[in-house]
A and B are shown apart, each in its own frame.
Chain A
């Protein structure tokens, strides 16, 4: 089996599990709706204040959803000795990481689309005009979040206090991604052209590259269990 085929099989398996159980998607979507309400209650009905806080709220929501969604990505492997099965996979173990990462990116993208649409509807912001550049920022941010999240999720699966440790490890590492995405989103919502946020996009792309590379290189050591 080639490398790509092995990564694809892990990816496909995760998608099938999710499609049949709908465990994470349903709960995460509901969670996003709840977050929107909470943000609204916390900030009050003032339109201007909400609009000013919007980029931060959007990414805070995505990160919170990511903490819940990504943190669970390896829990299914603990049952029925699936972990052993993954370890016994022939060849380079980083293919498993790649497949898991792809699955997590798809899950996060689904959550993002729903969250962005809900933001547009509830807070009455025009997200359609800057849709294409916004999608680019979202995609780059998602890869950065999921790359580290997938690696740390595999690591914390076997650790005590997993739910606590995962965010404590992930959040400090995600500071650059959060700063870059929030700043870029803010500029785009204000109607600035994509060229104005080029430095943030470069930083995001560089960070993504570094995170994915480290994930590919070190996943083998995490998988040993």
Chain B
């Protein structure tokens, strides 16, 4: 099952590369730089999926105390941090030629960075507790609070920027999206979701083996 997922993800990523570089047309305003979007957008969608699973696993662990739910939450948290990191790095690389800067305190960038830091803290907490049950309970509390906090962070950061200065640096998004670009994006999103499922299944298996020793 896991192996099949892995091959599907590899095939999907190959198709995504072909679609992103071969099939999709060159974007008129930004040029080839826009193709980073095929990495950037699927990454952030995958990260949100991962953090959603952290919330689900956390609540389910507190309710049932089955170790499997904790493994789901912990594994999804790790992969979520990975994809959030990918989102920030790819966005940064895109931002340099487009906005002329690696980083700006734009609302979206800031809230993504806060999200990243919150879940790094979550992973740090997990790494510092040895007792599996205590680790599961504490991590679940932090996982629930972190997920519920996402909308609060989102609004506070949005208003914070809105009060200081309008977002003038935001580059023009390609809209309406060309159907070819949309299709390439969709293929990459499916590939990333498959890759996430593969990572998650591997990571949960490793976590299960770790607990046996």
Residues of chain A having any CB pair with chain B under 8 Å:
148, 151-152, 155, 158-161, 165, 168-169, 171-173, 175-176, 179-180, 183, 199-200, 203, 206-207, 210-211, 214, 218, 221-222, 224-225
| A207 in complex: contacting residue of B118, B152, B159, CB < 8 Å | B152
23 sample A-B contacts, Cβ–Cβ < 8 Å, listed by A number: A148-B145, A155-B138, A159-B128, A165-B121, A165-B125, A165-B128, A169-B142, A172-B114, A172-B121, A173-B118, A175-B114, A176-B153, A176-B157, A203-B152, A203-B155, A203-B156, A207-B152, A210-B149, A210-B152, A218-B145, A221-B137, A221-B141, A222-B141
Residues of B within 8 A of A (CB): 62, 114, 117-118, 120-122, 124-125, 128-129, 134, 137-138, 140-142, 144-146, 148-149, 152-153, 155-157, 159-160, 163
Which residue on chain B has the smallest CB distance to residue A169?
A: B121
In the complex, which residues of chain A have a beta carbon less than 8 angstroms from the beta carbon of B118? 172-173
Contact indicator B153/A175 (Cβ below 8 Å): yes
Question: Which residues of chain B are within 8 angstroms of A180 by Cβ–Cβ distance?
Answer: 156
What is the bound-complex CA distance between A139 and B128, given in angstroms? 33
Q: Given the complex of chains A and B, what is the CA–CA distance between A213 and B128 in angstroms?
A: 26
B134 to A225, Cβ gap below 8 A? yes
Separation in Å of the A198 CB from the closest CB of chain B? 12
What separation, in Å, do the CA atoms of A165 and B123 have in the docked complex? 11
Interchain CB contact under 8 A, A224 and B137:
yes
Contacts of B124 in A (CB 8 A): 165, 168-169
| Whole-angstrom CA separation of A170 from B140 in the bound complex | 15
**Complex Cα spacing A214 to B124, Å:** 21
- By beta carbon, the residue of chain B nearest A225 is B134
The 5 closest A-B pairs by CB, nearest first: A176-B156, A172-B118, A172-B117, A179-B156, A218-B141
A172-B112 Cα distance, complex, nearest whole Å:
11
B138 proximity list for chain A (CB < 8 A): 155, 159, 222
B156–A175 touching, CB < 8 Å: yes
**Chain A residues with Cβ under 8 A from B160's Cβ?**
179, 183
Q: Which residues of the other chain, A, contact B149 by a CB distance below 8 angstroms?
A: 173, 176, 210
How many angstroms between the C-alpha atoms of A175 and B157 in the bound complex? 9
Minimum CB–CB distance for B131 against chain A, Å: 9
State whether A200 touches B159 (Cβ < 8 A): yes
CB distance from A149 to the nearest CB of B (A): 12
- CB pair B157 A222 closer than 8 Å: no
> Which residues of chain B are near A169, meaning CB under 8 Å?
121-122, 124-125, 142
A178 to chain B, nearest CB (A): 9
The distance in angstroms between the C-alpha atoms of A224 and B140, with both chains bound, is 14
Instruction: Report the bound CA distance from A175 to B111 in whole Å.
Output: 9
CA gap between A118 and B157 in the complex, in Å: 30
Smallest CB gap from B122: residue in A: A169
Quick one: closest B residue to A222, CB to CB?
B141
A214:B157 contact, CB within 8 angstroms: no
A92–B145 Cα distance when bound, in Å, is: 21
Chain B residues, Cβ within 8 Å of A171: 117
A179 to B153, CA, bound (A): 9
- Tell whether, in the assembled complex, residue A222 and residue B146 are in contact, meaning their CB atoms are under 8 Å apart: no
Q: How far is the CA of A173 from the CA of B147 in the complex (A)?
A: 10
Residues from chain A with Cβ under 8 Å of B140 in the complex = 218, 221
